[in-house]
Structure 1
Amino acid sequence: MADNILDELAWRGALNQMTDEDGLRKLTTDKQVGIYAGTDPTGDSLHVGHLIPFMILKRFQLMGHKPVILIGGGTGSIGDPSGRNSERVLQTMETIAHNKQALTAQMVRMFGTDNFRIVDNYSWLSQMSMLDFLRDYGKLFPVNQMLAKEVVASRLENGISYTEFTYQILQAIDFLHLLQHEDVQVQLGGADQWGNITAGIDLIHKVTGSDTKAYGLTNPLMLKADGTKFGKSAGGAIWLDPEKTSPYEFYQFWFNQDDADVERFLKFFTFLDRDEIAALVALTQSHPERREAQRRLAQEVTAFVHGPEAVKEAEAISAALFSGDVQDLTAAEIEQGFKQFPDTTAPKTPENIITWLVDTTKIEASRRQAREDVQNGAITINGAKVRDVEATVDPSDHFDGQFVIVRRGKKKYFLVRIR
């Protein structure tokens, strides 16, 4: 690991823009620095895109610095204009409170509670009157400069409300508040937040003096080698909430990354050292079919987000699906691992296998085909090959009577939910 956090971040490809590299380097060498990144509680789960700034915050934490995550209960109630062409739909305060609670739990799981704080800007923004806002802060923001900010300029053609227009002022107030009350001197954000970050530094200098040490840095836009945006899958966003994206699906997202991306992702999304990453990259070049680098990537990120037990479960499901030996999986693991396969329902009643395959579950198109597949050993029920056309399928045999797993051929799985 490098002596200075900036060198470590540079090697990992985690730096984009900095307001004053020399000043920030000296600050992070001389003291333990308070650094914050914010997220608004617009949903009840983070997704893998949020890991981009949070991995940087975690590296600051591991090197002895003091990360702060701001959950924008105040700013989230009005909407951030960045990255969209229309106004954000306003949420109720009850929804925002629920989302904040859910996001807090996810962050604590990743960061722990030592040398780490979560704050909510609602606690200070809600105490400010409109007159205070206009007198104390509105006078310090020239409209022409606000209009020139990229996040605002990109919205002018389609229109932007005064509510969202003021977002950059509120974010600037956040930085000032955290500097004065939490000893935070650095703000981190995505490339689209550069204008808001510099607005905060400008406000700090106007209020406290131009010699106040306050800095900003942004993380790079994360694109895959093929130019597509990182963080999406065929099924949509990859969530950190295990109810939205199961730990098995989460693991598979990382395991399925392309060889062309795996070195960059190992550097950015894991805490492995340089020698270990170099060894994994070399192994990918010599034996790409083993996918050892992707496996380690999946293990590390899944453990960071969901814990080591989730890794064991994900790998047990993967091994069972590959081998067909599904008997030892739990009902919970079945629920996780078979979401991507066709599913159907069947009653609890035991039934002849041919009738069950054709009439009840419609896995087979005809009795002739069903008999042929059974006699040829192409049908596996709950991990056991069935060759007898007079056999009975008893849904209560496995998985707490909740599921029957059918495999036709080597790879075609079906999940039958027992109602």
Structure 2
Amino acid sequence: MNIIDELEWRDAINQQTDADGLRELTEQKSISLYCGVDPTGDSMHIGHLIPFMVLKRFQLAGHRPVILIGGATGTIGDPSGRQTERSLQTLEQIEANVQALTMQMKKLFVTEGDNQIRMVNNYEWTLKINVIEFLRDYGKNFSINTMLAKDVVASRLESGISFTEFSYQILQSIDYLHLYQHEDVQLQIGGSDQWGNITSGLDLIRKKEGNEAKAFGLTIPLMLKADGTKFGKTAGGAVWLDPNKTTPFEFYQFWANTDDRDVVKYLKYFTFLTKEQIDDLAEKVQTEPHKREAQKTLAEEMTRFVHGEEMLEQARRITAALFSGDIKSLTADEIELGFKEMPTFEAAKEPKNIIDWLVDLGIEPSKRQAREDITNGAISLNGERVNDVGLEVSVDQAIGGRFIIIRKGKKKYSLVKIS
């Protein structure tokens, strides 16, 4: 299957500058292509992954990807999708973000001994351009009328846009020209909001290299959930690739909880499963939705890809323990990861009667209610039902000497840290 055919089957193409020309080019030879990300933070979130998964698919099809980290463009900030000016970060913070994103990209996309994926930083060539060169060699090739007509700029005219952010598309165009000239790059890919920046780059290439220059642009559709909300956001915020921001267990759970209406789309976008495998899972969504096999597969594929096999196994263990109630099978570190977002209380090491302990912590509103819940078997401690109202709770019962998990009813968990 040609790479363009595969992307079309996966519904991963929004716009192309020359669909027939790109198809013909990719069938004739192996091409170089690039996608970029600005270092506005020290980690990508799952929304950032979408175009880079397409980049990886090109690599698997025999093409040569280039990943661009925007050390220069990141100092300005892309106005795409924004109605207000960005707060500029310090150069030191941007450099720290560049290093963090570079390591993250290498972990995800560059395997040992793999020379196919190249990584570049646009700060390296942008730094060499002085203001006179910028205005004469590049600015002269851009029409203000055309720039104003770009969606990303037009949408900001009423609220206002600085010359700094207005010039962003010129810098990104310089990137494409540089990579075309020095890295043999003939295709830029990006999100749907990058269409204006991509076409500006193509215009610059043709003005500098001639109208016969073979360069192309391709964008990926905006990802929305079935309910119309933006993909990748949860009640707790973005789903990050950095395990210190979103734990592997939370990452696994995000994908495992995917709506039936979205799961096949996500399998196509984010996994490298074959058409036959995805079609089989799509059928099971219709015939056996209660088994949630498609969601489990999606969660496993994505957690393995981003965090590795060991962290996937850990996420599975935590998930299985929470489902079965076998809390004692978990380590203290796994407890900390799995119960990170649950109500948390702190208790002293000294032994205390369970009724007083539950009330003092605030897990139970009164001694009467605590006694009633224990008598009715509604309280579990580390997965074991408590029936004795005279039970003494102590540090000896804490998993790893650090945590006690209280379950009230069927699903209400509380994490108690022993201080």
Q: TM-score range by the shorter chain?
A: over 0.9
Given that 1:189 and 1:217 are in contact with CA atoms closer than 8 Å, whether structure 2 keeps it comes out as yes
Of residues 37, 49, 52, the one that matches 1:51 is 49
| Paired residue type of 1:18 | Q
Which residue number corresponds to residue 242 of structure 1? Answer: 243
**Shift of residue 231, structure 1, vs aligned partner:** 1.1
**Shift of residue 236, structure 1, vs aligned partner:** 1.4
**Shift of residue 377, structure 1, vs aligned partner:** 2.3
Given that 1:396 and 1:402 are in contact with CA atoms closer than 8 Å, whether structure 2 keeps it comes out as no
Tell me, in whole angstroms, the C-alpha distance in 1 between the residues paired with 2:333 and 2:62: 39
**Shift of residue 398, structure 1, vs aligned partner:** 3.6
| Paired residue type of 2:220 | N
Given that 1:225 and 1:260 are in contact with CA atoms closer than 8 Å, whether structure 2 keeps it comes out as yes
**Shift of residue 356, structure 1, vs aligned partner:** 1.1
Given that 1:41 and 1:72 are in contact with CA atoms closer than 8 Å, whether structure 2 keeps it comes out as yes
Tell me, in whole angstroms, the C-alpha distance in 2 between the residues paired with 1:317 and 1:301: 17
1:30 aligned to 2:31? no
Tell me, in whole angstroms, the C-alpha distance in 1 between the residues paired with 2:133 and 2:394: 71
Structure 1 residues 146-177: Cα deviation after superposition (integer angstroms, max 9, x where no partner): 11111111111111111111111100000011
Tell me, in whole angstroms, the C-alpha distance in 2 between the residues paired with 1:346 and 1:223: 43
Given that 2:17 and 2:216 are in contact with CA atoms closer than 8 Å, whether structure 1 keeps it comes out as yes
Which residue number corresponds to residue 162 of structure 2? Answer: 161
Which residue number corresponds to residue 60 of structure 2? Answer: 62
Given that 2:398 and 2:418 are in contact with CA atoms closer than 8 Å, whether structure 1 keeps it comes out as no
Q: Percent identity?
A: 63
**Shift of residue 27, structure 1, vs aligned partner:** 1.5
Which residue number corresponds to residue 212 of structure 1? Answer: 213
Which residue number corresponds to residue 378 of structure 1? Answer: 378
**Shift of residue 89, structure 1, vs aligned partner:** 0.5
Which residue number corresponds to residue 314 of structure 2? Answer: 313
Of residues 78, 81, 101, the one that matches 1:80 is 78
1:413 aligned to 2:416? no
Tell me, in whole angstroms, the C-alpha distance in 2 between the residues paired with 1:67 and 1:331: 42
Range with greater deviation from structure 2 (397-406 or 5-14): 397-406
Given that 1:383 and 1:405 are in contact with CA atoms closer than 8 Å, whether structure 2 keeps it comes out as yes
Secondary structure, in 3 states, of the residue corresponding to 1:186? Answer: strand
Secondary structure, in 3 states, of the residue corresponding to 1:59? Answer: helix
Tell me, in whole angstroms, the C-alpha distance in 2 between the residues paired with 1:418 and 1:185: 59
**Shift of residue 271, structure 1, vs aligned partner:** 0.8
Which residue number corresponds to residue 9 of structure 1? Answer: 7
| Paired residue type of 2:414 | F
Of residues 84, 88, 92, the one that matches 1:90 is 88
| Paired residue type of 1:373 | D
| Paired residue type of 2:397 | D
Range with greater deviation from structure 2 (388-397 or 30-39): 388-397
Structure 1 residues 343-376: Cα deviation after superposition (integer angstroms, max 9, x where no partner): 11111222221221112x1211111222222233
**Shift of residue 385, structure 1, vs aligned partner:** 2.0
Q: Which runs of 5+ in 2 are unaligned?
A: none
Tell me, in whole angstroms, the C-alpha distance in 2 between the residues paired with 1:289 and 1:268: 23
Secondary structure, in 3 states, of the residue corresponding to 1:404? Answer: strand
1:401 aligned to 2:401? yes
Structure 1 residues 113-172: Cα deviation after superposition (integer angstroms, max 9, x where no partner): 421122110111011100111111111111111111111111111111111111111000
Tell me, in whole angstroms, the C-alpha distance in 1 between the residues paired with 2:233 and 2:342: 19
Alignment map for 1:214-293 (pairs within 5 Å): 214-293=215-294
Secondary structure, in 3 states, of the residue corresponding to 1:322? Answer: helix
**Shift of residue 22, structure 1, vs aligned partner:** 1.5
Given that 2:255 and 2:299 are in contact with CA atoms closer than 8 Å, whether structure 1 keeps it comes out as yes
Tell me, in whole angstroms, the C-alpha distance in 2 between the residues paired with 1:397 and 1:105: 41
Secondary structure, in 3 states, of the residue corresponding to 2:397? Answer: coil
Given that 1:251 and 1:299 are in contact with CA atoms closer than 8 Å, whether structure 2 keeps it comes out as yes
Tell me, in whole angstroms, the C-alpha distance in 1 between the residues paired with 2:235 and 2:39: 25
**Shift of residue 281, structure 1, vs aligned partner:** 1.2
Q: TM-score, normalised by structure 1?
A: 0.97
**Shift of residue 241, structure 1, vs aligned partner:** 0.9
Structure 1 residues 277-325: Cα deviation after superposition (integer angstroms, max 9, x where no partner): 1111111111111111111111111111111222211111111111111
Tell me, in whole angstroms, the C-alpha distance in 1 between the residues paired with 2:378 and 2:77: 55
Given that 1:378 and 1:409 are in contact with CA atoms closer than 8 Å, whether structure 2 keeps it comes out as yes
Given that 1:327 and 1:398 are in contact with CA atoms closer than 8 Å, whether structure 2 keeps it comes out as no
Tell me, in whole angstroms, the C-alpha distance in 2 between the residues paired with 1:245 and 1:297: 17
Tell me, in whole angstroms, the C-alpha distance in 2 between the residues paired with 1:390 and 1:226: 49
Of residues 104, 109, 112, the one that matches 2:110 is 112
1:330 aligned to 2:328? no
Secondary structure, in 3 states, of the residue corresponding to 2:15? Answer: coil
Tell me, in whole angstroms, the C-alpha distance in 2 between the residues paired with 1:130 and 1:214: 27
**Shift of residue 11, structure 1, vs aligned partner:** 0.3
| Paired residue type of 2:83 | N
Tell me, in whole angstroms, the C-alpha distance in 2 between the residues paired with 1:320 and 1:340: 16
Given that 1:110 and 1:304 are in contact with CA atoms closer than 8 Å, whether structure 2 keeps it comes out as yes
**Shift of residue 326, structure 1, vs aligned partner:** 0.6
Q: Which runs of 5+ in 1 are unaligned?
A: none
Q: TM-score, normalised by structure 2?
A: 0.97
Aligned residue-pair number: 416
Structure 1 residues 260-283: Cα deviation after superposition (integer angstroms, max 9, x where no partner): 111111111111111111111111
Structure 1 moving runs of 4+ over 6 Å = none
Structure 1 residues 186-229: Cα deviation after superposition (integer angstroms, max 9, x where no partner): 00011111111011111111111111111100001111222222
